[in-house]
Amino acid sequence: MSQSPIFARDLVRVFGSGDSAVRAVDGVDLDVSAGEIFGFLGPNGAGKSTTVRMLTTLLRPTSGTARVAGFDVVTDADAVRRSIGVALQDAAIDPLMTGRELLRLQATLYSIPRTDGERRSGELLERVGLSAAADRRVGTYSGGMRRRLDLALALIGEPSVLFLDEPTTGLDPMSRISLWEEIRRLNADGTTVLLTTQYLEEADQLADRVAIIDHGQIVREGQPDDLKAEVGAPTLFIDVETTLVDTATGVLGTFGELRPTAEGTLGVGLRDGVGAVSAVVRALDEAGVAVSHLEVRAPSLDDVFAEATGYRLEGADTDGATR
């Protein structure tokens, strides 16, 4: 039996039945090591949240097995709940209660004795920088403050495994960075973290390993640097007039494999590296293609994502990715 804090084999979740059945999660395997930050990357609707809901006992898998903190998520759900901390993207915080009241309630739910609960609530409020707002109703908190309170709530039971479902979605850059720092600190203290995100930079910054999920299946998994190295060639992006797209595509194809891009831009993985840029420009010039914008990027997680799924996550809005 696996001792990994998060372990799943052939996890499947089907919604609906018959012709309208949707396989939201379709055979996911996970093996997250102790003390790791594991990034679960994918666009909305890819199956990230459904996987997390199964791992946190909120949803029963249709088939497959999963163990969290050593306990089966179906047969030993209570033990799983006692061992984990969960901050769910779509689980609101009661706006009528104060931050301190919510932490005390959460402490009671984890059967923490009253005096310990009060002490721990105070410590956590301090830790996430909410001491001054502790006795204000949550309804008056900003988005960033709610996320920090959400994190504090997830930590009340001193979990060994922490699930953070899109913890920084909708946050301003400063709040995002401060939350990243807190997640790193927690991880340094030994907490295993599974983090879902649709932000590539977030996965790149935080995660020791990432899994890319698309249409309910994990399509790539590994350390960000290894995954980027697998993509190999840097990508050259160019913007050209719409009428010249076909000509430009023909030219670019001779320098390497075309890569998916955002609309209005063409991309090619430069087989011969950055040194080929001047040759590409000359070739385009000879073909009569005027380039309005040119950019070379080293392989990124977005390239990994694009190579694995056929479309890009970067630049996509919250409703999906750019094909």
Partner 1 sequence: MSTLAQTRAMSQRSVLALVRQPALVIPSAVFPLFFAALGTSSFSRAVNIPGFPEVDSFLDFALAGAVVQGILFGSITSATALATDIETGFFDRLLAAPTQRTAILIGRLAGAMAYGFAQTLFFVAVLVPFGLRITTGAVGLMLMAIGGLLTALAVAALMSTMALRTGSSEAVQGSFPLLFVLLFFSSAFFPRETMSGAYRRIADWNPVSHLVEGFRSLTIGEVNATSIAQVVVLPAALAVVTITGALAALAARTRRG
Which residues in this chain contact partner 1 in the complex, by CB under 8 A? 56-60, 78, 81-82, 84, 86, 88, 90-94, 96-97, 101, 104-106, 108-111, 137, 153, 157
**Residue 161 contacts by C-beta under 8 Å, 6 or more apart in sequence?**
5, 6, 68, 69, 83, 84, 85, 191, 192, 193, 194
Element (H, E) at 283: helix 277-286
Q: C-beta of 218: minimal distance to partner 1 in Å?
A: 22
Q: C-beta of 28: minimal distance to partner 1 in Å?
A: 17
Strands 209-214 and 37-41, how do they pair? parallel
Please report the sign of the dihedral spanned by the C-alpha atoms of residue 147, residue 149, residue 152, residue 156.
negative
Q: Which is nearer to partner 1, 81 or 312 (CB)?
A: 81
**Residue 117 contacts by C-beta under 8 Å, 6 or more apart in sequence?**
103, 104, 107, 108, 156
Residue with tokens 């939201």: 24
Q: C-beta of 79: minimal distance to partner 1 in Å?
A: 9
Q: C-beta of 45: minimal distance to partner 1 in Å?
A: 17
Q: Which is nearer to partner 1, 151 or 308 (CB)?
A: 151
Q: Which is nearer to partner 1, 90 or 286 (CB)?
A: 90
Q: Which is nearer to partner 1, 163 or 255 (CB)?
A: 163
Q: C-beta of 85: minimal distance to partner 1 in Å?
A: 9
- C-alpha span between 42 and 54 (Å, rounded): 17
Instruction: Tell me how far CA of residue 201 lies from CA of 180, 188, 248, 259, 321, in angstroms.
Output: 11, 20, 30, 20, 15
Q: What are residue 309's phi and psi, to 5 degrees?
A: -110, -20
Q: Which is nearer to partner 1, 101 or 230 (CB)?
A: 101
Exposure string for 211-241, b = 16+ CB within 10 A, e = fewer: bbbbebbbbbbeebeebbeebebbbbbbebe
Token readout for 253 is 């194809």
Q: Which is nearer to partner 1, 140 or 223 (CB)?
A: 140
Q: C-beta of 98: minimal distance to partner 1 in Å?
A: 10
Q: C-beta of 89: minimal distance to partner 1 in Å?
A: 9
Q: Which is nearer to partner 1, 90 or 319 (CB)?
A: 90
